Amino acid sequence: MFTQECHSAGKRASLFVCVSQHAFTESFSEHSAYAGCMSTPAANARKLQKERTREALMNAALELSLDRGFAQVSLRQVSQAVGVVPSAFYRHFESMDDLGLALVERCFGTLRTMIRDAQRDPHVFENIIDAAATILVASVKASRADFAFVVRERVAGPEPVRAAIKHELDLFESELAMTLVRLPNIENWNSDDVHMLARLFVRNMQANAELAANMPEDRPDLEAQIHDLARREMMLIVLGFKDWRSN
């Protein structure tokens, strides 16, 4: 009994070193953006390591839900993918729902950053529709797992996750409405119509993001096709602006 305990302890330790390295690599290679710029400086190595494992769990869950959908992914699968024992999961999240909510927050964080960066670029406003289509395709390409997660779990996720995504999308829609209301032909539409318009745009961006996120990788032709499709859709909708009479 005693020898067995010694043996298992030794095995445990060496295994831990192994899985820690695994966690590192995964975290940095796949989502270096997050790992590098956390809000806390995380002075001591202990907290830093914990943060890394947490990120690794989130990345593993994101990747696993790509083919199965988040609700199909189990706590044990996520833990195993990271190289950690199931009970260790609870050091980071209360439940899988909790992890899901963290993922929603992170995804919309990157989304918002992208949009803010785009708005800062003055070049964008020269041809707003073309720019929007370009940004859409490029953004999805850069974080396809995030976009795929949002469009999928918006309808398929556990109820708390669905609610969180709905809330974020509503916010996004309201922000867009505030931008739209300053466009030439729209400035004196009533607020109901502006919201309807914002909805129309958000909805079609969602649909095109879904298309782009589920597109096979490294297919510049399909990419261009989706870009063009999105552009033409927005053009058609915009054409109706000047003749719009609320009723």
Q: Pick one of 24, 69, 77, 222: the residue that binds DNA (CB under 7 A).
A: 77
Q: Does 96 sit near DNA (CB under 7 A)?
A: yes
**Do 208 and 229 contact (CB within 8 A), yes or no?**
yes
Q: Give yes or no for residue 11 binding DNA (CB under 7 A).
A: yes
x-marked contacts with a second copy along 161-190 as a string, rule CB under 8 A: ------------------------------
Q: Is residue 200 a contact point for a second copy (CB under 8 A)?
A: yes
How many other CB atoms are found less than 10 A from the CB of residue 108? 19
Q: How far is the CB of 103 from DNA (least distance, A)?
A: 15
Which of a second copy, DNA, none interacts with 110 (beta carbon under 5 to 8 A by kind)?
Answer: none
Give CA–CA dist 185/239, Å, rounded: 10
If one asks whether residue 223 binds a second copy (CB under 8 A), the answer comes out as no
Which entry of a second copy, DNA, none binds 212, CB below 5 to 8 A by partner kind? none
In Å, how far are 64, 122, 180, 244 from 186, measured between CA atoms?
Answer: 43, 21, 7, 9
Residue 34 C-beta: closest distance to DNA, Å: 16
The dihedral sign for the CA sequence 33, 34, 39, 45: negative
- The answer to whether 107 touches 204, Cβ cutoff 8 Å, is no
- Binding residues for a second copy, total number by CB under 8 A: 27
Nearer to DNA, 85 or 118 (CB): 85
Closest CA to 64 of 53, 52, 49, 79: 79
Q: Is 25 in contact with 53 (CB distance < 8 Å)?
A: no
Instruction: Please tell me what DSSP assigns to residue 182.
Output: T
Q: Which residues make up the interface to a second copy (CB under 8 A)?
A: 69, 71-72, 151-152, 155-156, 193, 196-197, 199-200, 203-204, 207, 210, 229, 232-233, 235-240, 243-244
